[in-house]
Structure 1
Amino acid sequence: MARHHWRAARVVAAAAAVMVTLACGPADDPRPTSSSPPALPASGTGTVQIGGRQVTVHVPASYDPARPAPLVIGLHGYTSDGVQLESYLRLTPESDRRGFVYAYPDGLTDDRGERFWNATDACCSFSEPKPDDSRYLSELISTLEGGYRIDRSRVSLIGHSNGGFMAFRMACDHADQVAAIVSLNGATWADAGRCRPSKPVSVLVINSSSDETIAFTGGDIGGNAYPSAATTVADWVRYDRCGGTGRDAPKLDLVPALTGAETSVRTHDCANGSVVQAWTIGGGTHVPPLGSAFAPAVTRFLLSR
């Protein structure tokens, strides 16, 4: 866990170094590959190769092929991987308790051996050729829908850092497949015109006010800008055709190391029953030490859409 925190917090420094030093393409083939259907686990947790990449899938004991189940996909940050993400978010117990199929794939590796997602121009593919991770994850969703009885109206993604950027990218590109996303300390496109969701997607934007890596007020990685937390929320309020100015809800205590209920909550009601929520972790860092309340809270958001 400590190793995960250290590695995840390096994203900007590593990104700058990559921009200077990389001359070749990713070590893995960036193109999605087709093959025979993978042998997906029938229950419990198993790791399979899908499209040439490692994907860990957890199937709750309550899964019944006769009843459609929700699907949640977890996306790791730059320098991390799926297993480290799950050790941080700890969503597997929620999968068992609430009955959703849960998958956490690995991104490709760059020339420094770091895993990444090609989400936006800011984060985090720093060499050529750039993999089409939007297409890969769309095909992963289709593969899992083919292997399990999935409720296609309840497919969602949750990502941290680079994974948060990628969750936004999926909502922009594949609103026909994705009902809801959660981004923890990520950001959407700086150029709002590059996001054109075909229908509203419920979005939970979680940002730490003292994030030392992805600045709360916006910034850039290797000269490519990413928007502030406020701009990210405002863009999605516009995409989802939300009404009014939003409303505040009681604060949440997600990070026990911070005093009291440190996380403010603001909700916007939007078109087609979608919502945009902004959670601000007051005093939180890029990898806040999440408490036991975090996983149930974000799962409740995802499954209620």
Structure 2
Amino acid sequence: MRRTVWLGLGLGGAVLALAGCGVGLRGSALPSPDPGGAMPPGTFREVLRTGEDGRRRTFEVHVPASYDPTRPTPLVVVLHGAFNTGRGIEAKTRFSALSEREGFLVAYPDGIGFAGLFQHWNAGWCCGKALRIGLDDVGFVDRVVDRIEEVFAVDPTRVYMIGESNGGMLTYLYAAEHPERLAAAGVSSGAYGGRRAIDEETWHVPRPAVPVPLVAFHGLADDTLPFAGGADVGSLPVLEGLEFWAEANGCAAAPVTEELADGAIVHRRWTAEDHDQGCAPVELWTIAGWGHEWAGGKPGDDRKAAALLHGFDATRTAWDFFRRFRREPAQGGS
């Protein structure tokens, strides 16, 4: 009997999305630039029609106050997890607030769902209806990047992507299928593969044709996508995915390991085996006692969470990783 694997990722993201929070022109349609190319700051919502059936898809883009249409600007694409939304992951991670300080654009695409809630992605092996109908979410996210590049002065050598959970799975898949487009990628609480159904063989993303630097974050108490993988949810081990990516990136098999906060936070870095070899860096941060949740981002009064994180913030750490890398322009490109 065929059984579809569905990851119960919680309703917190959906509730968060209902509350919403934003800057400037929250929810307004994406405006046209004035004759000089200037755009007002704020967070704007755009609708795209995709696929043969013209499915209505949405995304939001945050424009920092410092945006200058005469200066190529980095773009960070942030993919929410299942049962969340683009607006929900914005509030959770606070990438828009960071963009105001650092001067990058942020895009928040939405998966498909019901009445604007319970949204999810087809990441190749998960999740829900998007997987069942074979939705081309890689193509949709690619369209989002195209659209933002049409309107804004995006630096094509500094396009980054990061996702949480189901969004992290899609980030893996997008980076594997479009490595030429990303300068670096990030995954939080995600796996690079698993079983589409209980009675099927495991599947994982293909090897990227060119290296993509990658940073990952995972809680060791995550029981939704366990660090060691899990027969119950069908996900492959997290470390296996990082080793797969490191090998594809030309890095040494064994990472350099550093322990922080008395061993509660462990930082692994895959580097070149010797100075004569290249390696697109791969990094993994693990947090003892942390579950299936974004580490840091939105401040709060949760003392238990603060005690587990020891001041660690995945949003800040991801951006500090991303900003180190540029994608070489395609031959014949600018």
- Common topology (TM > 0.5): yes
Structure 1 residues 218 and 54, CA gap change in structure 2 (3 angstroms):
same
2:192 touches 2:204 (CA, 8 Å); kept in 1?
no
Structure 1 CA distance for aligned equivalents of residues 120 and 130 of structure 2: 9
**Counterpart among 276, 290, 295 of residue 282 in structure 2:** 276
Offset of residue 261 of structure 1: 7.1
Aligned-residue identity in percent:
28
Which residue of structure 2 aligns with residue 304 of structure 1? 324
Offset of residue 48 of structure 1: 1.8
Structure 2 CA distance for aligned equivalents of residues 125 and 73 of structure 1: 23
**Counterpart among 197, 208, 212 of residue 197 in structure 1:** 208
1:175 touches 1:199 (CA, 8 Å); kept in 2?
yes
Which residue of structure 1 aligns with residue 266 of structure 2? 264
Deviations 1:232-289 (A, max 9, x none): 111111111113522224537xxxxxxx773211111257552100111111111256
1:62 touches 1:99 (CA, 8 Å); kept in 2?
yes
- Aligned: 1:234 with 2:243: yes
Structure 1 residues 194 and 290, CA gap change in structure 2 (3 angstroms):
closer
Structure 2 CA distance for aligned equivalents of residues 124 and 220 of structure 1: 18
Q: Give the letter for the 2:163 counterpart.
A: G
Structure 1 residues 92 and 151, CA gap change in structure 2 (3 angstroms):
same
2:59 touches 2:144 (CA, 8 Å); kept in 1?
no
Aligned length: 266
Deviations 1:130-153 (A, max 9, x none): 210011111111111111111111
- Aligned: 1:78 with 2:76: no
Structure 1 CA distance for aligned equivalents of residues 204 and 224 of structure 2: 25
**Counterpart among 81, 95, 100 of residue 96 in structure 1:** 100
Aligned to 2:91, the other structure's residue is in SS state: helix
Offset of residue 218 of structure 1: 0.7
Structure 2 CA distance for aligned equivalents of residues 116 and 173 of structure 1: 19
TM-score, structure 2 length as denominator? 0.72
Which residue of structure 2 aligns with residue 182 of structure 1? 186
Structure 1 residues 143 and 220, CA gap change in structure 2 (3 angstroms):
farther
Structure 1 CA distance for aligned equivalents of residues 120 and 250 of structure 2: 31
Offset of residue 112 of structure 1: 11
Structure 1 residues 250 and 93, CA gap change in structure 2 (3 angstroms):
farther
Structure 1 CA distance for aligned equivalents of residues 87 and 278 of structure 2: 35
Matches within 5 A, 1:17-28: none
Which residue of structure 2 aligns with residue 107 of structure 1? 111
* Runs of 5+ consecutive residues of structure 1 not aligned to the other structure: 11-36, 253-259
RMSD between aligned residues = 2.8
Structure 1 residues 121 and 127, CA gap change in structure 2 (3 angstroms):
closer
**Counterpart among 69, 72, 91 of residue 68 in structure 1:** 72
Deviations 1:100-145 (A, max 9, x none): 1001011111699621110021335466422100111111111111
Moved over 6 A (4+): none
1:157 touches 1:181 (CA, 8 Å); kept in 2?
yes
1:164 touches 1:186 (CA, 8 Å); kept in 2?
yes
Which residue of structure 2 aligns with residue 50 of structure 1? 48
**Counterpart among 194, 208, 211 of residue 222 in structure 2:** 211
Which residue of structure 1 aligns with residue 156 of structure 2? 152
